[in-house]
A = this chain, B = another copy of it.
Amino acid sequence: MRAAVYRRAHFNAAHRLHNAKWSDERNREVFGPCNNANFHGHNYELEVCVKGNVNPDTGYVMDLGVLKQIIKEEVEDRFDHKNLNLDVPDFQDRMPSAEHIAAAIYDYLLPRLPAGLELSLKLWETPRNAVGYPV
């Protein structure tokens, strides 16, 4: 028997979308208000999905208390109440778009999961905007 388990988490952060290879004008044109030099911010809502076999002794794909702790260490401790551009090394040379944030979270979470499980994420940047990764 195979199933998926989902765990939701929350962090909030400041960021700015700015491509250093481009002129200021092009940055404003492409990123609009998201290019604000003084940053803006979001409450990020994360839904982590883990698929795998159900252990008949526990009835679990994996213990969601363990998953909650992994998300705390790998995601909340790194990103919560931070400036993604200035405080988080992952986004020194990479745009902190929701797509890239989701990919970075994926890369942090995957090695922490028990072997044989499949990982995917949905990340809301606002109540109306979200990304999914991988697809």
Contacts and interface: CB of A to CB of B under 8 A. Distances in A.
Interface of A: 1-10, 12-15, 17, 19, 21-22, 30-34, 36, 38-43, 45, 49, 51, 54, 56-61, 63-65, 80-83, 86-87, 94-100, 102-103, 122, 126-135
A23 to B, nearest CB: 13
Contact of A2 (B5, B9, B135): B135
A126 B10 contact: yes
A124 to B, nearest CB: 8
Contact of A129 (B6, B96, B127, B129): B6
A130 to B, nearest CB: 4
A40 B128 CA distance: 20
Nearest to A133: B3
A41 B17 contact: no
